[in-house]
Structure 1
Amino acid sequence: MHTDLTAPETKAAGAEVAAAFADFATTFEAFRETNDSRLSEIEGRLGVDVVTEEKLGRIDQALDETKRRLDRLTLAARRPALGAPAAGEGVEDAAAQEHKVAFTGYMKSGEAGGLKALESKALSAGSGPDGGYLVPTNVEREVLRRLATISPIRAIAANRVISGGLYKRAFSTTGPASGWVAETAARPQTASPGLAELNFPAMELYAMPAATQTLLDDAVVDIEQWLADEVETVFAEQEGTAFVTGDGTNKPKGFLAYDTVADASWIWGKLGTVSTGVDAAFAASNPSDILIDLIYALKAGYRQNATFVMNRKTQSAIRKFKDSQGNYLWQPPASAGQSATLMSFPVVEAEDMPDIAAGSLSIAFGDFRRGYLVVDRAGVRVLRDPFSSKPYVLFYTTKRVGGGVQDFAAIKLLKFAAS
């Protein structure tokens, strides 16, 4: 009789997530009560008690820590095991199983004969510019799946997998040439649309996890799972920075690296900005009004799928905002695994967004699925290096990824400046 050994682990993980979500809800209630007390003190005595302010700061920090713990547990609970196919996928075919066995042999002992034979049969090069071999497809798929969950911008952006080093996308600079015409009327010739091209090169991203030979010799250790666990966070951190602020040189171009212009003068090729009217701050009265201006700077077609992007400190400042009815504009997620919301729009926390400062672009709002494109070149490669850091074995792991803005009308930025 088959016994499902994963059932107790799944139940335990679910209980941990439920407990973390309950802690988060309790902490937010404490935050709300303390902030209400702070606002009452402002209205009643025209000043805030220092003790209340310090208490609010501690609760705010605890709220962030509880949310990070909840996100981490939710991600771990959703993570499928690499030893079995994911839901909806079939059993591994013979070729995939052969690749897996050969790859495990290479990782554990350095025996590359099996991988060389497989890549020769596939008529592919045995190694890239820096050497190494392709990981099994299930490992590559799992790495990309994890990155889509924990890399904040990748999670909301569009994604393309390419086989070459460059993805090109044509766009119209003048809009489509079209018009109305009767059923039997002659079709007048239309002017040719003006077309231009956007290029998205895939740049090399690497990680170099290390293992002891004892770990590699352990028959119980799933070496594919270990590799995915080791590289996911490193890749996600590097991607997160590049997709926001990357300069496009040997890395993707982040959306904050593009030229900006006041939204009233917006043109294609630049991102539109809305200013708070105050350097390094929100307006003193009705500070949330500028968020409404930012929302409606976006056309309706983009607005329905839009998301706020900001870092933790900016989100902390916005948590205190209320509407005219006394309701908080920032609301916690309704359940584990969901996003917090601001004015009913999801909020994505990206730590690489700048803090509020004079002239900073600290909040982005837009339909990132249409506005930003992430391109992945198919294939993740690993080069085993047992020599450079004896007695440790290094695994030089590379993937190629690019990114950039593909629709300049889909993203707007809030600028903390007088104009």
Structure 2
Amino acid sequence: MTLDIHDHLETKAGFSPDAAVTHGDMMRTFEAFKSANDERLDAIERRSADVLQEEKVARIDAVLDSQARRLDALTLKAARPQLGFDRAISAASEREHKSAFEAYIRAGESVGLRTLEVKAMSIDAPADGGYLVPEELEREIGRRLTAISPIRSIAAVREISGNTYKKPFMTAGPATGWVGETAARPQTNSPVLDELSFPAAELYAMPAATGALLEDAAVNIDEWIASEVEQVFAVQEGAAFVNGDGANKPKGFLQYDKVAEGSWAWTKVGFIETGVAGGFPDEGSADPLIDLVYALKAGYRQNAAFVMNRKTQSAIRKLKDVDGNYLWQPPAQVGGRAGLLTFPVVEAEDMPDIAADSYAIAFGDFNRGYLVVDRQGVRVLRDPYSAKPYVLFYTTKRVGGGVQDFDAIKLLKFSGV
């Protein structure tokens, strides 16, 4: 009797059979990739490199990428909780807010929302600034962003009620030492504190709806808004968390001053060099990655992850350790992440490609290293005039971000020593 690989797949509750099948296909494709790449490397060593073999490896690599994208999509679909607005809502105020919000979205009737915001004393926006969405819809948008925004999924997230979050951080602790039982206790140095500031900037999306959609009572308006804005918000904030300049947007971790790890100092992000401009060394190609891992202190390594784009991941997929084992490994289970040197790999397409002097790979404990700040409240402004016959919904939320622990994130620079 033959057993199919699908019978042995470890899956998580809630994932579709399609996800299990795709995961199984990906595991088999990776085995084919390793075999083809081994043949390619053997041919190179014999100085008889075959163009057809190179193309074969590239084709299998592309199939792996395609399967990874499909698996990510299926995993994301399973991770999205359904909006439970059909169930009874216990709080009368929540029912009232939802009813008033739906009337505003479908018909432009704003009296109910205006009355609610007056009672809640929450009019902190201009007259044309729109109205707050119900709390459950706001939470749903946040959950969706966490599922698809790569840096948000591994960073620390704080919710604030003001426009700026200020956090004191101890850069040097109080001096300590050993003393005898009756010895004098000399005065110790005080701790050194640094105040980090994270202002929240406005992020917006503008989904459009037809009159027919708004008139259709079967359409869940809350679900529609959440699904329309999630991708736009995720793309914009994902780019800002990596490369944002801090001007009316979060400051990305690649935009801080960078310094060689041997000269690291607070407010700077340390880096390790590969020793080869735009690539890995031919001998000991895994060494820069290992050096990068151990540039991070042990306390940070426990929850660390690699961050890179798909093209960089494709290049690393071909690397082996000194024992001939591939460094990159596909997800061990449906809903998991690919692994590199036993650490998870997070795909962030806004990371740069491998090139001379590029910082194409980041490694660190992003939960301690990077902070995302969400200001409470998502606002929607209904605009039936600017794009007739469509109705636009100008949807805004305020988001900030920046490095909060400069010792928790390290970079790999593709440059010569």
Match of 2:273 in 1: 275
> Could you say which residue in structure 1 is the equivalent of 2:23?
21
Cα–Cα, structure 1 residues 399 and 256, in superposed 2: closer, same or farther, change >3 Å? same
Contact 1:85–1:92 under 8 Å retained in 2: no
5 Å matches for 1:226-305?
226-305=224-303
For 1:187 and 1:114, how far apart are their aligned partners in 2?
Answer: 67
Q: Which secondary structure state, in structure 1, belongs to the residue aligned with residue 16 of structure 2?
A: helix
| SS class of match (1:365) | strand
Q: Give the TM-score normalised by structure 1.
A: 0.93
Q: Give 1:23 shift.
A: 2.1
Question: How many angstroms does 1:65 deviate by?
Answer: 1.4
Q: Distance in 2 between matches of 1:65 and 1:176?
A: 52
In 2 relative to 1, CA 404–220 (structure 1 residues): closer, same or farther, beyond 3 Å? same
Residue 75 of structure 1: aligned partner:
76
What's the C-alpha RMSD, in Å, of the aligned pairs?
2.0
* Higher deviation after alignment, 322-331 or 407-416: 322-331
User: After superposition, what is the alpha-carbon deviation per residue over 1:71-108, rounded to whole angstroms, capped at 9, x for unaligned?
Assistant: 1111112211113599xxx9542211111111111100
1:112 to 1:183, Cα distance in 2 relative to 1, 3 A: farther
2:61 is aligned with 1:57: no
Q: CA deviation at 1:360?
A: 0.3
The amino acid across from 1:169 in the alignment is K
Aligned counterparts of 2:202 and 2:215: Cα–Cα separation in 1: 30
- Shift in alpha-carbon separation, 1:85–1:367, aligned structure 2, 3 A: farther
Match of 1:172 in 2: 170
Deviates more, 1:253-262 or 1:93-102: 93-102
Establish whether residue 367 from structure 1 lines up as the match of residue 365 from structure 2. yes
Provide TM-score, normalisation by structure 2.
0.93
- Worse-superposed segment, 140-149 or 10-19: 10-19
SS in 1 for 2:101: helix
Q: 5+ residue gaps in structure 1?
A: 1-9
Matched, 1:350 2:352: no
Distance 1:325 1:114, change over 3 A: same
8 Å Cα contact 2:174/2:189 also seen in 1: no
Q: Percent identity between the aligned chains?
A: 65
State the shift of 1:129 in Å.
7.0
Matches within 5 A, 1:37-56: 37-43=39-45, 45-56=46-57
Closer/same/farther in 2, CA of residues 124 and 317 from structure 1, 3 Å limit: same
**CA offsets 1:159-182 (integer angstroms, 9 cap, x no match):** 100000000011223323334456
For the structure 1 residues 140 and 183, does the alpha-carbon distance in structure 2 shift closer, same or farther, using more than 3 Å as the test?
A: farther
Structure 2: stretches of 5+ with no match in the other structure: 1-11
- Secondary structure at the counterpart of residue 374 of structure 1: strand
Distance 1:103 1:25 in 2: 47
Please give the secondary structure, in 2, of the residue aligned with 1:395. strand
User: Cα deviations across residues 340-359 of structure 1 (Å, max 9, x unaligned)?
Assistant: 00000000011000001111
Is the contact made by 2:284 and 2:322 (CA closer than 8 Å) also made in structure 1? no
SS of the equivalent of 1:173 reads strand
| 1:253 aligned partner, one-letter code | K
SS at match of 1:321: coil
The offset of 1:190, in angstroms, is: 2.8
Separation in 2, partners of 1:11, 1:292: 35
**Once the two structures are superposed, what CA deviation does each residue of 1:235-294 show, in whole Å capped at 9, x if it has no partner?**
000011000000000100000000001101111111111111111111121111111111
SS of the residue corresponding to residue 172 of structure 2 reads coil
